[in-house]
Amino acid sequence: MIPHGLSNRYATALLDAALKKGIAAQVEEDARALRQIIQDQPAYKTFLLSPQVLTSEKKAMIEKAFSKRASDLFVRFLNLLLDKKRFGLIEEIIEGYIILHERHQGIMEATVITAVPIDKALEEKVRKKLEAETDKTIRITTEVDPDIIAGMIIKLDGMIIDGSIKFRMETLRRQIEELRVY
């Protein structure tokens, strides 16, 4: 899901700038590389967030780590985040950028939740149906939640399509509770 608020504004601005320069795919690679570094070396992020470390030292670290590997736009963006004291949002911004860039390319994520694992044939059938409905390329992730009893729940672009038995039973229960007999 795309982050909201400030993180989304930064991610959108970065995508707009990258699209104008024609380097959106390169910036996505740069963002993924930084995300991997942060995951593999938490001390790196701690250093960049530390109020005891001067901004100039942080910029030097960014320059050393990324100047030869990443696009100039991405390095300048990271420096901007440091200047604005917004580096704490970097993981949300990266996630937002990746999602926005994939949407720009016509790719959407869908989560399919079922009570038991589904086979590849059903997953493919759901993917094709969603692609036909959205006119986008759909990437599916599956989850298992025995509490839904049967059926499936599909989460797509902020929408939830709930076809679970649990939902239908709760709806029926509410209707019965609201029933007035005269």
Range of the domain at 163: 106-178
In this structure, are 24 and 92 located in the same domain?
A: yes
In this structure, are 57 and 99 located in the same domain?
A: yes
In this structure, are 92 and 116 located in the same domain?
A: no
Residue 178 CB coordination number (10 Å)? 7
Residue 2 is predicted with a pLDDT of: 60
The domain that holds 95 is classified in CATH as: 1.10.520.20
Give all strands (DSSP E) within the chain, no chain letters. 107-114, 137-144, 152-156, 159-162
What residue has token string 């795309």? Answer: 2
CA distance 149 to 113: 11
Q: What is the pTM of this model?
A: 0.74
Structural domains in the chain (count): 2
Domain assignment present for residue 1? The answer is no
In this structure, are 54 and 141 located in the same domain?
A: no
- Which residues of the chain fall short of a pLDDT of 50? none
CA distance 148 to 126: 18
Residue 148 CB coordination number (10 Å)? 20
In this structure, are 41 and 79 located in the same domain?
A: yes
In this structure, are 77 and 147 located in the same domain?
A: no
Copy the structure tokens of residue 139.
């990437």
CA distance 64 to 75: 10
pLDDT tens sequence across 36-76? 999 999 998 899 899 999 999 999 999 988 888 899 999 99
In this structure, are 56 and 82 located in the same domain?
A: yes
Number of alpha carbons in the 13 Å side-chain half-sphere of residue 98: 15
Residue 168 is predicted with a pLDDT of: 86
CA distance 171 to 25: 45
In this structure, are 136 and 111 located in the same domain?
A: yes
